[in-house]
């Protein structure tokens, strides 16, 4: 690549995203770089943190990128030119990242499918830290992208999963992906060992605390970006106390990025497992996403914000972008 700039999406004001030219940095000794194939939008984080932010512009969102390695630093031995890899990169036409923070895609796995491993990793942190063991019953509330993949992942791991969402379309996506038990609300007699709230809605968190079995876990994976109800803390605390609920955060970064002494689970290890499951067909992504050219970003983000999107996921295809 000879250009000193790269095309990149930037949020330049509240609810305003556009394609801009950004400067490119010199390649570090342990870095790899190359043209982006696809990037995936995380509607929760990107909409709340960047697209609807009141200030701090410009912001450069991004959550997951799949790229082809073209340049390799002298100390980067993990990847070779020509390989395709996943990274937590921005929406840009060129990725430049520490080689140690990338995962190569299995041979034959489409880049669009590989990008989904990033979202799968969010609930896989709960999978590696929960005390619930298969085939125990597990509930998932909120079937946006994170919850959808959580339902598929826990079912693939041998749990008895009930996937819940008030929106018909999201329930249909779950059924189409093979999730066996899908419902509009949590059954009160489910005796769930674990319920993951992926909605970020306080009402769903309270329902989870009321429906989980005594001594069970409720994990808050969805971020409560905004207040949705007039519920009080007393109602939540009452359910926690009387049902002996173990309520905790589902923050994915409870797991370290790389394996560490006595902590062998890691974020990148979860991505590796997710990519393998995608390649094996254990997790279904066909029919879940739409591809867009980066210049359509404003329309894409507006559709996600106002829930007019045609599919559960939106991705940008950078293969035709000019570098």
pLDDT of residue 35: 97
Token duo for residue 116? 């989904």
Residue-wise pLDDT for 139-151, tens only, equals 999 999 999 999 9
| Contact in structure between 91 and 261 (CB atoms under 8 Å) | no
Residues of the chain with CATH 3.90.180.10: 5-104+287-317
Place of tokens 């298969």: 134
Using pLDDT thresholds of 50, 70 and 90, give the confidence band for residue 261. Answer: confident
Q: What is the pTM of this model?
A: 0.94
How far is the C-alpha of 293 from the C-alpha of 40, rounded, in Å?
Answer: 12
Share above pLDDT 70 across residues of the chain, in percent, rounded to a whole number? 98
**Is 60 exceeded by the pLDDT of residue 2?**
no
Homologous superfamily, domain 5-104+287-317: Medium-chain alcohol dehydrogenases, catalytic domain (3.90.180.10)
The mean per-residue pLDDT over the stretch 234-240 comes to 96
Residue-wise pLDDT for 280-311, tens only, equals 999 999 999 999 999 999 999 999 999 999 89
**Is 90 exceeded by the pLDDT of residue 262?**
no
Q: Class assignment of domain 120-254?
A: alpha beta
**Selection from 231, 226, 40, 250 nearest residue 141 by Cα:** 250
DSSP calls for 10-36:
EEEETTEEEEEEEEPPPPPTTEEEEEE
Residues of the chain with CATH 3.40.50.720: 120-254
**Selection from 265, 322, 262, 261 nearest residue 295 by Cα:** 322
Place of tokens 């140690």: 100
Backbone angles phi, psi at 174, to 5 degrees: -65, -45
The mean per-residue pLDDT over the stretch 202-218 comes to 96
Q: What is the mean pLDDT of the chain?
A: 95
| Contact in structure between 180 and 161 (CB atoms under 8 Å) | yes
pLDDT of residue 55: 83
Residue-wise pLDDT for 267-281, tens only, equals 999 999 999 999 999
pLDDT of residue 263: 79
**Is 80 exceeded by the pLDDT of residue 76?**
yes
| Contact in structure between 219 and 248 (CB atoms under 8 Å) | yes
| Torsion angle of the four alpha carbons 37, 223, 48, 273, in this order, in degrees rounded to the nearest 10 | 0
Token duo for residue 185? 């609300």
């Amino acid at each position: 690549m000879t250009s000193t700039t790269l095309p990149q999406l930037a949020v330049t004001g509240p609810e305003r995203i556009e394609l801009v030219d950004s400067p490119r940095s010199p390649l570090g000794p342990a870095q790899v770089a190359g043209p982006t194939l696809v990037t995936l939008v995380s509607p929760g984080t990107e909409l709340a943190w960047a697209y609807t932010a009141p200030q701090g512009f410009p912001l450069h969102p991004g959550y997951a990128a799949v790229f082809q390695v073209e340049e390799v630093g002298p100390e980067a031995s993990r990847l070779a030119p020509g390989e395709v890899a996943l990274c937590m990169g921005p929406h840009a036409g060129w990725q430049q990242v520490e080689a140690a923070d990338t995962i190569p895609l299995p041979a034959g796995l489409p880049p669009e499918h590989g990008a989904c491993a990033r979202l799968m990793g969010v609930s896989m942190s709960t999978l590696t830290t929960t005390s619930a063991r298969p085939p125990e019953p597990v509930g998932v509330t909120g079937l946006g992208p994170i919850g959808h993949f959580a339902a598929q992942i826990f079912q693939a791991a041998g749990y008895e999963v009930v996937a819940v969402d008030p929106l018909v379309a999201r329930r249909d996506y779950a059924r189409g992906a093979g999730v066996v038990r899908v419902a509009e609300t949590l059954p009160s007699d489910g005796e769930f060992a674990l319920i993951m709230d992926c909605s970020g809605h306080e009402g769903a968190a309270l329902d989870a605390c009321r429906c989980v079995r005594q001594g069970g876990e409720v994990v808050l994976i969805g971020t409560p970006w905004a207040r949705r109800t007039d519920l009080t803390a007393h109602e939540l605390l009452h359910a926690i106390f009387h049902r002996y609920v173990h309520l905790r955060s589902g923050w994915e970064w409870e797991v370290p990025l790389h394996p560490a002494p006595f902590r062998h689970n890691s974020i990148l290890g979860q991505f590796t497992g997710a990519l393998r499951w995608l390649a094996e067909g254990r997790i279904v992504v066909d029919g879940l996403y739409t591809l867009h050219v980066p210049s359509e970003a404003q329309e894409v983000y507006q559709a996600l914000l106002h829930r007019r999107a045609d599919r559960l996921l939106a991705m940008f295809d950078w293969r035709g972008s000019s570098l």
